[in-house]
Structure 1
Amino acid sequence: MKLRCPACGAAMSLEVLIAHDDAREALIALTGISDELTRAMLKYLTLFRPSEKDLSFARVAKLLGELLPMIRAGEISRGRKAYPAPREAWIWAAGRCLEARDKGRLTPPLSSHGFLLENITFWQPEATAVMSAAERQPRTAAAEQSKLRDGVGGLMAWANGAGDDG
């Protein structure tokens, strides 16, 4: 069975991939993460490819080996602080890395996962959650201020009411 790489167009037999130790390890690592996350990580890994040569299976296996423990843990550490890192955060952060490359703010090849991990520190579940088409409409500042004011008002009313009971 022949496979073609969507990134570089190289053709290779599946049997060769399975027989190659580093390629096999990379495939095993990829099977441990979701489809959407797999796609995001494969795109992200292209940022490590030197312009003059291919990214080796050994390098892919090493890079995935560095990421998988953090992906499985669902948490990262940066600057002695822990940050939540569910699958959605990894997908979002990988996308941000690719956007930065496309805008010229990130120049491949990368040598570490620092940029990806730094992006994860900015991930917020409510900002990146999957939304319905109706929810994707931009919100106005007045609507958000109204929600904030309503929430604060409700909290204050609750606090005042709780203070009266005790």
Structure 2
Amino acid sequence: MKVKCPSCGASLSLDVLIAHDEARTALVALSGISDELVRGCLKYLTLFRPSEKDLTFARVAKLVGEIAPMIRAAEISRNRQTYPAPREAWIWAFNRCLEARDAGKLKPPLTSHGYLLENITFWSPEKMAVTAGAAVRAAPAAETKLRKGVGKLMEWTNEQGEGG
């Protein structure tokens, strides 16, 4: 069965996609993380694509394989601290990365998930519209120079987005 990509219009056979080891690995990893989350993740993965090339299935499988266990665990470890990372945090952080790219503050191609994970350390339930019963308590984070600097940068980014 042939399918057409809604983004680029390329045509591809699903049989080939599933027969390809890395493509199948990427699809399996993505299938376990949900719909809105998958959309955010796929958009985020575009940040790893060099402008003159396409991402290979091997690279996509590797990138998804690095974050999928953290998504399933609903927590991350960063700078020897553990932070809650429910699905809402991932969706919020994926969007923050894309917003930073659109604002010229993040230049693709990315080489690691560091920016994404750092954003997750700043996530709190108040950052998203919380549905009834879905509130998640965030653990307080230790203050470091990096956290303070990134916090100030994020505050500045929010101010720029609201007023200018």
Q: Secondary structure at the match of 1:47?
A: helix
**Deviation string for 1:81-104 (max 9, x for gaps)?**
110000000000000000000000
SS at match of 1:82: strand
Normalising to structure 2: TM-score of the pair? 0.77
Q: Which residue of 2 aligns with 1:125?
A: 125
1:7 positional shift: 3.6
* Corresponding residue number in structure 2 for 1:102: 102
Tell me which moved more, 2-11 or 74-83.
Answer: 2-11
1:10 paired residue number: 10
Name 2:153's counterpart in structure 1: none
Code of the residue aligned with 2:28 in structure 1: it is: I
2:39 is the alignment partner of 1:39: yes
More deviation in 45-54 or 122-131? Answer: 122-131
Name the CA distance, whole Å, in 2 between partners of 1:129 and 1:72.
21
Q: CA deviation at 1:9?
A: 3.0
The TM-score with structure 1 as length reference comes to 0.76
Task: Say which one has the larger Rg.
Answer: 1
Q: Secondary structure at the match of 1:30?
A: helix
Pairwise mapping of residues 15-164 of structure 1 onto structure 2 (< 5 A)?
A: 15-130=15-130
Cα distance in 2 for partners of 1:7, 1:49 equals 15
CA deviation after TM superposition for structure 1 residue 131, in Å? 5.8
Q: CA deviation at 1:2?
A: 1.7
- The offset of 1:114, in angstroms, is 0.3
5+ unaligned residues in a row in structure 1: which ranges? 133-166
Q: Which moved more, 1:64-73 or 1:7-16?
A: 7-16
Deviation at 1:5, TM superposition (A): 2.7
Q: Distance in 2 between matches of 1:84 and 1:95?
A: 18
Cα distance per residue 1:41-93 (max 9 Å; x no partner): 00000000111110000000000000011111111011111100000000000
State the Cα distance separating 1:11 from its structure 2 match. Answer: 1.5
Q: 1 CA distance for matches of 2:114 and 2:7? A: 23
Partners of 1:94 and 1:108 in 2: CA distance: 14
Aligned length: 132
The 2-side partners of 1:8 and 1:107 are apart by 21
| Equivalent AA in structure 1 for residue 67 of structure 2 | L
Aligned position for 2:136: none
Residue identity opposite 1:10 in structure 2: A
Task: Give the residue type in structure 2 aligned to 1:79.
Answer: N
- Tell me the CA shift for residue 128 of structure 1: 1.2
Q: Distance in 2 between matches of 1:6 and 1:50?
A: 20
Let me know the Cα RMSD of the aligned residues: 1.4
